[in-house]
Amino acid sequence: MLDLKTLIQSQEIIEQKLSKRGPTAVSLLGQMKPLLEERRQLNVALESQRLALSQKQQHMKALAQAKDQEALNAARAELKTATQSLASSEALLEEIESRIQSRLLLIPNIPDDDLPVGDESCNQVVRVVGKIPEFNFTLKDHHTLGESLGVFDFERGVKLAQSRFCVLYGAAARLERALIQFMLDTHTSRGYVEVLPPFLVNRASMTGTGQLPKFEEDLFKISDPELFLIPTAEVPLTNLLRDEIIKEEQLGLSLTAYTPCFRKEAGSYGRDTRGLIRQHQFDKVELVKIVTPESSAQALEQMLVDAEFILQQLQLPYRVMLLASGDIGFSAAKTYDLEVWLPAQNTYREISSCSNCRDFQARRTHIRFKRSGAQSKPEWVHTLNGSGLAVGRTMVAIFENYQQSDGTIMIPDVLRPYMNHAQKIDFKTGFLA
């Protein structure tokens, strides 16, 4: 959430920065202007009313001392009217403040100044890592490979739930579990603390990280009690410190968690309907950092390195993209995407997004810290999040990059200890060989 005081004092600057996101963000800001002006005028009127009320109270005291009962009764009636008028104005101000806060929750974060300006076509390639594999046989996509091996069952996924659900069998189920364990082991060895959070959270948690109120249609929820299935572990991990003031020495928090993630994908009808790329339920290992403001830029670079390390260990070719101002997420100020190479699609596809949200989520979750020294005032922390990685998409990349001419799938070296030291997924049985 943007700082209201800064927004009021620097409307033109904020509008200029938000314009880099596109016209929608500017329009949302424009809707705030009449409310802010109404709030300003009402505050001026309230100040005048409070002064007038104070004067009437002083006048009543003087009349009481003079024992002028008739004038005192008239003054008492005027005071009652003035008090009621003030209460009415204060209630109106409270209503306007509530409307301002509701509008403020819909305005996205301000993009960093160093981002390329524009939509996704303006995203910049930062680096390309790994050699794209060459094949001397006809490639199959992961969907075809998984069904041929008997380890992906989309048809029964539909029967059990609906489209965009899948059942994994045998070696695929084992590979999913292996990937999760490998990612967690790797991140914890690099300083992250593993967390197992709830997979259902309340409205305050979803609002704190920016999923609500803007993206409610994309969330799965239950109504009694009202709880939401998490779309990412970013939500519970970031909200662990909600409404807390912590010590500066507690910061530099690095957290990791495996969770299933649930998304309606409401805005993606017709996109990636085949295979595991865009499912309603998928597994992900998430990274979250909570740091001081001056360290968040470096924390983002380190998070990116940590996510990249997984791809490097799996020997999957990928590239790093710096997202343009119009393509970053709602809560992000700066985002890097990791895109893994998928041979069957002959393109790179997103497998991780690493974002610095600066103090945007901290203001919504009310997470502050206090520096050393008795006179220091609480400050907002900075929060960061990233995928380390999306597990299903990692499996897709392994199936397609490690496929063999006979339809079997070689298992990356680093995963073999987690797969009973098997070298490949066999075509005939779908189990480990």
Beta bridge partners of 289: 254, 384
Q: What is the pLDDT of residue 71?
A: 81
Average pLDDT, the chain: 94
Dihedral sign (CA 165, 168, 173, 175): negative
Rounded to the nearest angstrom, the gap between the alpha carbon of residue 301 and the centroid of all alpha carbons in its chain is 18
Q: What is the pLDDT of residue 269?
A: 58
Per residue in 373-417, pLDDT (tens digit) is: 768 899 999 999 999 999 999 999 999 999 999 999 999 999 999
Rounded to an integer, what distance in angstroms lies between the CA atom of residue 109 and that of residue 332? 6
Q: Cβ distance 232 to 284 under 8 Å?
A: yes
Q: Return the domain boundaries, the chain.
A: 4-104, 120-425
Whether the pLDDT of residue 271 is over 70: the answer is no
Q: What is the pLDDT of residue 268?
A: 60
CATH topology of domain 4-104: Helix Hairpins (1.10.287)
For residue 224, the tally of other CB atoms under 10 A from its CB is 5
More confident position, 189 or 375: 189
DSSP for 257-294 reads EEEEEE---TT-TTSS-SSSSS-SEEEEEEEEEEE-GG
CATH topology of domain 120-425: BirA Bifunctional Protein; domain 2 (3.30.930)
Q: What is the pLDDT of residue 415?
A: 98
| Burial of 396 per CB tally in 10 Å (0-12, 13-18, 19+) | buried
Query: What phi and psi values does residue 389 have, to the nearest 5 degrees?
Result: -135, -175
Q: Cβ distance 354 to 331 under 8 Å?
A: no
Q: Cβ distance 340 to 393 under 8 Å?
A: yes
Rounded to an integer, what distance in angstroms lies between the CA atom of residue 14 and that of residue 26? 9
pTM of the model: 0.93
Per residue in 311-365, pLDDT (tens digit) is: 999 999 999 999 999 999 999 999 999 999 999 999 999 999 999 999 999 999 9
Q: Cβ distance 340 to 315 under 8 Å?
A: no
Per residue in 66-107, pLDDT (tens digit) is: 777 878 788 888 889 999 999 999 999 999 999 999 999 999
Q: What is the pLDDT of residue 301?
A: 98
